[in-house]
Structure 1
Amino acid sequence: MQLDSESNNDQLRQAWVQFSSAESYNDYCQYWLELMCTRIGGVTMAALVLESGDAGFLPTAVWPEKSQPDDEFTALIEEGLEEAAGLVHSLASGSYGVAFPIRLDDQLVGVVALTLNVPNIVLPEVMEQIQWGSAWIELLVRRQQGKEQSEQFDRLSGAVDLLSGVLGEEKFQPSALRFVNELAAAFACDRVSFGLTKSRQTEVVALSHSAQFGKKMNLIRRLSGVMDEAILQRGVINYNFTSVGESQLVLREHAQFSQSGGNGNILTIPLHSGDDYFGAVTLERAVGQSFDEDEVGRIGSVVALSSEVLRNKEKQDSSWYQHLYRSTRTQLGRLFGAGYLGRKLLLIGFALICLFFTFAVGTYRVAADSQLEGEVRRAVVAPFDGYLEDAQAKAGDRVRFGEEMSRLDDRDLTLERLGYLSQQAKLQRQYEEAVAQRDRAEAKVLQAQLEQSQAELELVESKLQRTRLKAPFDGLVVSGDLSQRLGSSVGQGEVLFEVAPLDNYRIILWIDEHRMLDITEGQQGKLVLNSLPEQSFNFVLSRVTPVTEARDGGNYFRVEADLLNPSPRLRPGMGGVAKVEVDDRRLIWIWTYPLIQWVKLKLWAWIP
């Protein structure tokens, strides 16, 4: 193959002329592809595929024009895009397939694919030609991106300038007036109007070059219809008096407005935030001054940036009841409209719970801190002043009736008993002598002394018996530990031990004063002890006392109850929580009663 042979000079020169004179983007790509195929020679089919934004990679040029690539050629293009590297394949037709990627800053922007009928020895030269020629496409893409960035910068600059003017005003109405005036001046419009949707109808709130206008004017009503037409169709309407039939949207309101005194060119842009369309902007120009696509894009950018600010200003200037109405309407729309499934499920669940607690009935119980006590609590005291000699029992021990718990020192009493015995023997001898001598007077005196000595002896013996402190009944020692006091003195009447029975108990409940009106004797309930949480014990209230006690920052009444099902595992002094069953009431009342009672008391305290 001769790449630059004399026979191809004229054709190559013509291709260069067409390529140099290309004006549009598509012509540039098409003439470049023809130039490359002419220079290489032997090309049967070629395609240039470039990235087209959101549409992905699309064929931009095909050579020969209007030719249809077969499946094998399409697979070559797809492989070139996937591999992003130069490829050479032998095709089923006997020709060669070549694919070469086009990159821009290490990013794949396209691929060139060709099928050739050439010897394989020239394939490296072909790849080199494609590599050198792809620089023209890279230059085109870079220019196109630069142009788009410049247009985007111009749009952003204009939008920011207009936004700064809108933000410079504190109130909504001056901001809206400045917005339409600046927009009319920037895009050479005869009139610009701005409206917001209120009660399903657009209300014109600002008109360029008009500080005040009547809301019932025919112009304002027609402008409102024009804006509603664009909002309802969710699209930008570019109405041109000379080309009405070209648009696919309904233009009835725009046509009527133009014929009734409006301008020949009307551009209406609906304002929206997501799916929420809240207003529109209408721009008007005279006949012959239509809005081209570039202007529509720039105006859309400016309007989108400033309209949200104006909407927020309008909300901020609203009164409190307008804020309340708007918030309520929004929330109701979310609840009964489309979407927000989680919120709807939450509301339904809450409604079902409220319905359940409104009609469901449960047992109303009054909870109280409780303590278990023995039904009888007997004190073992010191019978007289003395010294401790021994202590066999202490708190927590189980004792039986008559079992010795402690012993006082009896040495002094034993000696005193021996003295009284000796004195009694002496008096007995003297009494017998007096009787023998028949001395009645002396005998009576001695008899009286004998009786006195016997009484004193019995007293001493009684004290000796009482030195051994014994259990009054079978039970549990609930207090008293004398093991550290052996040898110390004790006073008469001093409590040494307390004993409670193990089979008879009573429960002491501390009822909050707020619930005392619900408590009466004879009510039943259940007790759960801290040490036995897996078991409950039944009880019945036996006595409601007027005794109160301050506990945990509150005032509590002492209530006594009889235990109905005692257990060998119970011990006096155990604490727990008791619940008194009052009656059956609605669950909603049971759950809210403490709160309602608290609110009533607070209101009574606060109301003068």
Structure 2
Amino acid sequence: MTEIQSPSGVRSDAGAGHIDARAWRTLAHGGDAREAASVWLRLYCERSEGVRNALLLLRDEGGTPLRPLAVWPSTHAVTKGLRTACESAIAKDTGVLRRGQGEVYLALPCTVGDSGQAVVGCTLEDRADHQFEAAMADLQLCSGWLEALLRRAEAGAEEERAEVAAEALELMACVVDEPRFEGGARALVTDLAIRFDCERVSLAMLRRGRPRVVAMSHAATFSRRMDLVSALEGAIEEALDQQTPMAWPLLEGEQVLVTRAHEALARAHGAGAVLTVPLMHGEEVYGALVLEATGREKLTHRLTRLLEGAGALLAPVLREKQENDRWLVQKAGGSLALQTRRLFGPDYLGRKAAAAAVVALAAFAWFAQGTATIVADARLEGRVQRAIVAPFDGYVLSESARAGQVVEAGERLAALDDRDLRLERLRYEAGREQRELEMQKALAEGRRADINVVRAKIREATAQIELLDEMIRRARLKAPFDGLVVSGDLSQEVGTPVGRGDQLFQITPLEGYRVVLSVPEGRIAGVEPGQDGRVRFAAFPQRTWPVSVESITPVTEVREGKNVFRVEARIGGTVERLRPGMEGVVRLTGEEERLVAIWLRPAVDWLRLTFWRWLP
């Protein structure tokens, strides 16, 4: 097979074919791209000598694959040789002649618009080379007309798209203006009926996979038992099954479709023509519009394209309004059904993987066993705590220790001002000496009665002096044993008065600790003496200490707005670095249970109390 590049300017003297008036009108006034291309290709082939068949391919902007735009004769199958010649011409961007078995393939590319491309291919009878060159030149001359037709068709299509968009927005506005779905649907079908002079326009929305008529033009209400409703839904199902807009009678150039339901609707209810357009957004079908008119001339391809474009905008808006008008229970059921379809249907692999993981986790929690634990706040205290109080009313003279300080037995903690006590002691000593002189005088004079009185006063003064000595000794506050000062800081209170019995310090031994647990009242039933656990303090988060419950106080306390029980536990292990007042968290070991019971216990307990409170 040989290939010859096209010449630049030779014209063939091919005979002209018969040109009908309709074809001239199409060429003069234009039409859509497919119609214009078909007419041009037919006229070219009829006026050119020796053309057996021809093909016009188009590539849109964006580098899409070549697609057939017109074939002549319309019933002829495209041969592989002609297709190959067209692809070669578009790839080389030049005219191509290829010889086959008893025929020659001629192809010529041309530009359409800014970046679109078209290629015309013809199968000619085999003849002399100069005749093929003349045919190529003739095709080059005629291709200018083709480019003009395609540009005009493209401009017309752009204008039509703009008009369709404007009308679609107007239809959208009449739906959006209505607050409820029912009002928006009725406004839409009524506006369509008036706008396109239709006898009746009906809207159906899919419900559980089947169309359901929800609105009719010029009708506030209608009965679902009407034969008309059944006929409309049958026609809609017919269109949805074939996944295409459908008209009866068929529009010009439309493929042969099954239109029995449409014909039955038209004949039963007196419509001259019926058009059904599915409402689709992407791949999802939301419903359909059915237009009934008195004559077929009112239902056109342009109207079909308009309704398809408007439907893509209206479908999600109508569905959203319909969803918002439903009861909450219906919304929940619809959401559940949607998620179920997505879970068990195609795609959504991530959701399926997540669901499988949840099921596996639930199965594991149901069959696996675990040890239940009771978690509570813990505080470390000394088993013995000694309070150091003021022995008498007085003033703080000095301080030698404060909270957190380790002290030894007998070490001074603070001192009270004892000057008044010492002066009082001097007064009693002076009085006692005076009484002793009186005693000696009474003995010398032999006054027995006075001797007994003076002797009693001397004993009284002596007792007062001993009391004052003890109070002076107690004014020096000392540690009763080796331990830690838990509370008390008089560094800012030197010189301030204190009353008898006021607690100034609290000391606990360095050994013999206990852990005080604040167990929530909801978990106290699972705590019993002898129960083991582990405690972790905030000061030492890297390790734990063993604990064992010793006693449970049967009285609740309120902490942070919650009722808790005080539980005392014995702590084991090395406790040299621990200090009273440390806080942490304790976990008491419970019984072996299913993991699901352990995890859901708080929620189950809450539900039990809630039902008990509110159920009759």
Matched, 1:537 2:545: yes
In the TM superposition, residue 529 of structure 1 has moved relative to its aligned partner by 1.8
The verdict on how the C-alpha distance between 1:155 and 1:500 changes in structure 2, with shifts beyond 3 A counting, is closer
Shift of 1:374: 0.9
Map of 2:91 onto structure 1:
78
Q: Tell me the SS of whatever aligns to 1:148.
A: helix
In structure 1, the partner of 2:154 is 145
Q: How far does residue 510 in structure 1 lie from its aligned partner after superposition?
A: 2.7
Structure 2 match to 1:94: none
Q: Distance in 2 between matches of 1:315 and 1:405?
A: 78
Aligned pairs for 1:434-453 within 5 A: none
In 2, the alpha carbon distance for the partners of 1:554 and 1:595 equals 17
Aligned match for 2:488, one of 480, 483, 487 = 480
In structure 2, what is the equivalent of residue 96 of structure 1? none
Measured against aligned partners, the alpha-carbon deviations of 1:67-87 in whole angstroms (never above 9, x if no partner) come to 97999996775365xxxxxx9
In structure 2, the residue matched to 1:555 is 563
Is the contact made by 1:267 and 1:291 (CA closer than 8 Å) also made in structure 2?
no
Aligned partners of 2:165 and 2:310 also within 8 Å: no
Query: Does residue 370 of structure 1 match 2:378?
Result: yes
Given residue 532 of structure 1, which amino acid in structure 2 is its aligned partner? F
Taking structure 1 as reference, are residues 302 and 355 closer, same or farther at Cα in structure 2, changes over 3 Å only? Answer: same
Q: How does 1:577-588 map to 2 (within 5 A)?
A: 577-588=585-596
The match for 1:525 is: 533
Give the distance between the partners of 1:506 and 1:394, measured in 2 at CA. 23
2:240 aligns with 231
1:480 deviates by 3.2
Q: 394, 397, 403: which is aligned to 1:395?
A: 403
In structure 2, how many angstroms separate the alpha carbons of the residues matched to 1:492 and 1:176?
92
Counterparts of 1:67 and 1:568 in 2: how far apart (Å)?
A: 96
Q: Which deviates more, 250-259 or 321-330?
A: 250-259
What amino acid sits opposite 2:379 in the alignment? Answer: Q
Q: 1:453 to 1:174 in 2, by over 3 A?
A: closer
Change (3 A) 1:249 1:12: closer
Distance 1:475 1:167 in 2: 81
Q: Is 2:295 aligned against 1:295?
A: no
Is residue 571 from structure 1 mapped to residue 571 from structure 2 by the alignment? no
Q: How far, CA to CA, are the matches of 1:415 and 1:284 in structure 2?
A: 122
Q: After the TM superposition, which residues 137-536 of structure 1 pair with which residues of structure 2 at under 5 Å, given as runs?
A: 139-152=148-161, 171=183, 178=190, 185-186=197-198, 215=225, 227-237=236-246, 269-277=277-285, 279=287, 295-302=300-307, 305=310, 308=315, 326-381=334-389, 391-406=399-414, 469-483=477-491, 493-536=501-544
- Give the partner amino acid of 2:579: R
Aligned to 2:50: none
Change (3 A) 1:269 1:481: closer
Q: Please give the per-residue CA displacement for 1:568-591, whole angstroms capped at 9, x wherever unaligned.
A: 111111122333444344444444
Instruction: Quote the Cα distance in structure 2 between the aligned partners of 1:270 and 1:75.
Output: 40
Indicate the RMSD between aligned Cα atoms, in angstroms.
6.4
Is the alpha carbon distance of 1:315 and 1:136 closer, same or farther for their aligned partners in structure 2, counting shifts above 3 Å?
same
Q: AA paired with 1:365? A: T
Q: Secondary structure at the match of 1:510?
A: strand
Alignment-mate amino acid for residue 305 of structure 1? A
Aligned residues: 542
**Unaligned residue ranges in structure 1 (runs of 5+):** 36-46, 81-86, 89-98, 118-129
8 Å contact kept, 1:166–1:179: no
- Mean Cα deviation higher: 204-213 or 567-576: 204-213
Tell me if structure 1 keeps the 8 A contact 2:204–2:215.
yes
- Tell me the distance in 1 between the aligned counterparts of 2:585 and 2:250: 87
Amino acid at match of 1:299: T
CA 1:206–1:602 in 2, change beyond 3 Å: closer, same or farther?
closer
Contact kept? 1:271, 1:304, Cα under 8 Å: no
| 1: CA distance, partners of 2:213 / 2:460 | 127
Q: Distance in 1 between matches of 2:184 and 2:466?
A: 113
Cα distance in 2 for partners of 1:585, 1:174 equals 61
CA contact (8 A) 1:397 1:477 kept: yes
Residues 475, 146 of structure 1: CA spacing in aligned structure 2 closer, same or farther, 3 A cutoff?
same
CA distance in 1, matches of 2:490, 2:58: 103
Matches for 1:7-156 after TM superposition, within 5 Å: 23=27, 24-25=36-37, 51-52=59-60, 77-78=90-91, 102=111, 104=113, 139-152=148-161
Q: Which amino acid aligns with 2:304?
A: I
Cα displacement string for residues 449-491 of structure 1 (whole angstroms, at most 9, x for unaligned residues): 9999998887777667656544322211223344566677766
| Contact 1:30–1:60 (8 Å) recurs in 2 | no
Unaligned runs of 5+ in 2: 1-6, 28-35, 48-54, 72-78, 96-107, 122-128, 130-139
Following superposition, the deviation at residue 503 of structure 1 comes to 1.3
TM-score of the superposed pair, with normalisation by structure 1 = 0.62
Matches of 1:161 and 1:447 in 2, distance apart? 125
- The one-letter code sitting in structure 2 at the alignment partner of 1:146 is A
Q: Is the contact made by 1:162 and 1:182 (CA closer than 8 Å) also made in structure 2?
A: no
Q: Report how far residue 25 of structure 1 moved.
A: 3.6
Does the CA-based 8 Å contact 1:196-1:205 persist in structure 2? Answer: yes
The 1:257/1:535 distance shift into structure 2, 3 A limit, reads same
Contact 2:399 2:490 in 1 (8 A): yes
C-alpha distance in 1 between matches for 2:291 and 2:525: 76
Partner residue in 2 for 1:91: none
Q: Deviations over 1:544-595 (max 9, x none)?
A: 2244433322333333222233511111111223334443444444444444
The separation in 2 between residues aligned to 1:343 and 1:378, in whole angstroms, is 65
Deviates more, 1:403-412 or 1:464-473: 403-412
Deviations 1:197-252 (A, max 9, x none): 556555677889999788585x87677555434422323456769999x9565667
Q: C-alpha distance in 2, partners of 1:207/1:405? A: 97
Indicate the SS of the match to 1:301.
helix
Are the aligned partners of 1:241 and 1:265 in contact in 2 as well (CA < 8 Å)? no
Residues 107-158 of structure 1: CA deviation (Å, up to 9, x unaligned): 5656999xxx9xxxxxxxxxxxx9x999866644432223223444565677
Counterpart amino acid of 2:91? E
User: Percent sequence identity over matched residues?
Assistant: 32
3-state SS of 2:340 partner: helix
